[in-house]
Each structure stands twice: as C-alpha cells, then as structure tokens.
Amino acid sequence: MKTKAVRIYGKKDLRLEEFELPEMKDDEILAQVISDSICMSSHKAAIQGPEHKRVPDDIAVNPIIIGHEFSGLILKVGSKWQHKFKPGQKFSIQPAMAHMGTLNAPGYSYRYIGGDATYIIIPDIVMEADCLLTYHGEAFYPASLSEPMSCIVGAFNASYHTPPGTYRHEMGIREGGKLAILAGVGPMGLGAIDYALHQDRKPALMAVTDIDDARLARAACLFPPEKALEEGVRLFYVNTAKIPDPVKHLRELTEGQGFDDVFVFAPVRQVVEQGDAILGFDGCLNFFAGPTNPEFKAELNFYNVHYAFTHIVGTSGGNTDDMRESLRLMSQGRINPAVMITHVGGLDAVADTTLRLPQIPGGKKLIYTNISMPLVALDSLGELGKNDPFYAGLHEIVAANDNIWNPEAEKYILEKGKEI
C-alpha cells in the first residue's frame, strides 16, 4: 500500500513524499492516520536531526516519519493482536515507551509509523508496550490531543503532600485545597484549567496568572469564574504585570495561608521564584515548563523547605495511565481539549509549520493528514471565507461554537476538504 508522509532526512530537512509501505507482518497493525497535532518536541527533532536522542543516526538513508500526537482508524490487524484489536476501531498512540528500555518512539525513530502520514504500520513493540489505545469519542482530534493532555494529567498526579508526623507521600494535588497556575493561559495552561475544574480531585480555590490581558480574557471566556463555582471552585484570573506586588496579592487570595499546589507553566526565573514565594505549609511547586537552557536556575527559599515543608517536583510528559485518563474524560465530555487548537491545516502544511513552530503565534496546530490545506488560524476563517466558499462554510461552523474547534468542523473538513 502506498502512503504519503512527512519524513525527516537531516537537520531542518523535512520532505512530503509518497512511498510504498512494506507488507504487514502477523505481529503488526495497518492503520489510517486522520489527525495529528504538531508538538514543539517535533520542532526540536526537526532542528536537531540525528543529534536528537530519539532520532536514528542514519536518517539520511533511512528517513523516519515525524509526528507523535496522532489518532486514526485501525484497518487490518495481524494474527498476534486480533484478540485485542479489530478493524474500524479508533485509536490513539502513547509515544513514550521508555519503560520498554528504549528511547525509540513513534514520530521520532521509525520508518513506517508517525503521525504525519496517511497510512502507517504499527510495529509490535507499540502493542507490547501497551501504547496503542482504543478511543470511543465522536471526533478524532480529541484523541490527537490526548498526548498533550496526558502531560497535564501526569503533572497533577506527580504533585504530592505529606501528612504531618508521617513520611508518607499522598500523591496528587490537595483535594479541596488552593491551586495556582502561573503563566497559565497558553494552550497547555488552558488544558490544565480545564482538567483542574473537571477531574475528580478538585481544588476549592484556583488562581490563574499571566501578563497578557487578551489571553487572560480568552481564558475567562472559556472558563468563566461563575461556571467554575458550579464545580465548587472559586476561580481568579490575575494579570501580574499590572499589580505592584503580585506575591502579596496572590497570598491575600488565600487569606495569607499560601497555596497548596503551584504549577509553573513558563521557564522564567521570575515566575519560578514567584511560585516558590506563594507556597503555603507543605506546598508543592510543580515545574511543568521545559526549559531549553540546560543551565536554567532560580532561587528557592530553603528556610521554608526546612520549616514549612515546601517541596518541588517536575514532570516531562505523562504515562499510559495518564493518557487513558485523558481519553476517559474526553469520551465522557468532561474536558474539551479543543480549547487548545488555534490553527488547522493539511499534510502539505506540516513541514513548514514544524520548522517554524516557535514563530507561529497561538496554541495547538491541528493537521488533517488526508487533506491538502495550508495552515490557517481559526480567527482568520471569516476573512478567508470572503473569497473562498470552503473557508466560509468552515467559519460558519466554528463561529457558531465560540470560535472553538468541534466535531462538526472536523466532519466538514474531512468531507469537503481537498484530498492530498
């Protein structure tokens, strides 16, 4: 079977090509990819090429398919896995297979599996690692976003607290406690707000900070404080750039007690130190943001570490259980990762988008891999629709849903979009 895919041949060398897939083996699965969301990690792999720790050295002659946040349909199942999977099932992939003793991952290391392709062959190791996950939602894009959402779930699970007089770590944010998300209205921050409000273990108070009024306003529109109250959460949005003493203001929200859980969503020294300063007794500082500078440092108050039992954790991705939790909440309609999506495009937009990702504003870039379409911002659909009826129709659907991507928009693009 022929497939079309974006493959990496070297540093900044991404190529959209058509080629023949090998015959599927008895321990493999043939699948069609429907959607893939582009991750900053893919940008790093494209920039570094074979110097990336997950990318093979020989990609110049054996290129790999890029993209790891993908979803699709199972088409054919080898005999080894027919007891567990069947044609027609929707799926998502957990690319992190580190517990199998390898750094190899779909989207980084394999010739015939990756998210930016029309058809792929899923190798045996993915199923052996229990990293092929079935999905029962209506649309495909939530499953593509289950990987970034699993990173958020993993971070919430990694936070911990220690009951006084014990050495027992109770994992997870403090239920009914006070939670702060700093620099928290980017795409991942929005996902964290959504998860905090709609998971089983909720805080009673949540403060979300940023320095951008427009992004804070959008977050407040997506997750209004009055709606949060219905979930039992008092929610505050704070522009720390407009407050003379942000630490004092944030601590006052907690009546001076400080926060039980603080998540830092930007690798900025000032934000990290602000997070440390607002911790309460047994407060957990969760450094979520991944810095690119290996020498990144910030100061912490070690007096509070000793006497107030403050502590710090960091996570880099979620595991398979975190991904299952994401898929479960999406299937139940409790969380909506579509709030992360600001751009959509087709397979022919992948190479340029991946290479320029840091320069493209907005949130997640969602790709429909069987479609030919430039990358377009959702808020530009109205203007594009003045000259193109395809975009006019798409704008009508998206605008009717508060400019948020949705299953009807996906159905429209899959039915009316130009085939790649």
The CATH number covering residue 353 comes to 3.90.180.10
Query: 375 and 354 in contact (C-beta within 8 Å)?
Result: no
What's the total number of domains in the chain?
Answer: 2
Q: Euclidean distance between the first and final Cα of the chain, in Å?
A: 16
- C-alpha distance from residue 124 to each of 71, 83, 86, 318 (Å): 18, 14, 15, 21
The CA distance from 251 to 50, in Å, is 47
Single out the residue in 308, 334, 357 at which a domain terminates: 308
- The tally of CA atoms less than 13 A away on the side-chain side of residue 318 is 25
Kindly state the average pLDDT of the residues 380-391: 96
DSSP state at residue 117: B
The CATH number of the domain holding residue 230 is 3.40.50.720
- C-alpha distance from residue 339 to each of 220, 345, 378, 398, 406 (Å): 12, 17, 11, 12, 9
pTM across the whole model: 0.86
Same-domain check for residues 206 and 288 = yes
Q: Note whether residue 121 is domain-resident.
A: yes
Based on C-alpha coordinates, what's the Rg of the chain?
A: 22
102 pLDDT higher than 80: no
Q: Note whether residue 314 is domain-resident.
A: no
Please report which helix (H) or strand (E) contains residue 367, including its range. strand 364-368
Return the SS3 of 380.
helix
Pairing mode, if any, of strands 119-122 and 64-65? Answer: unpaired
Specify the pLDDT at position 251.
98
Structure token digits, residue 220? 């407040």
- Domain of 287 in residue numbering reads as 163-308
The CA distance from 177 to 28, in Å, is 46
Q: What is the mean pLDDT of the chain?
A: 94
Same-domain check for residues 146 and 186 = no
Same-domain check for residues 230 and 200 = yes
Q: Note whether residue 75 is domain-resident.
A: yes
> Per-residue pLDDT tens for 219-258?
999 999 999 999 999 999 999 999 999 999 999 999 999 9
13: left (phi over 0), alpha (psi -120 to 50) or beta: beta
Indicate the pLDDT class of residue 269, thresholds 50, 70 and 90: very high
Q: Note whether residue 155 is domain-resident.
A: no
- C-alpha distance from residue 414 to each of 97, 106, 303, 340, 366 (Å): 31, 24, 57, 20, 13
Q: Note whether residue 3 is domain-resident.
A: yes
Kindly state the average pLDDT of the residues 195-217: 95
* % residues pLDDT > 70 (the chain): 99
DSSP state at residue 130: T
Indicate the pLDDT class of residue 291, thresholds 50, 70 and 90: confident
> Per-residue pLDDT tens for 50-62?
999 899 999 999 9
Structure token digits, residue 95? 């690319």
* % residues pLDDT > 90 (the chain): 86
Indicate the pLDDT class of residue 195, thresholds 50, 70 and 90: very high
Specify the pLDDT at position 99.
60
Q: Note whether residue 313 is domain-resident.
A: no
Tell me the β-bridge partners of 14: 8
Kindly state the average pLDDT of the residues 155-175: 95
Query: 108 and 68 in contact (C-beta within 8 Å)?
Result: yes
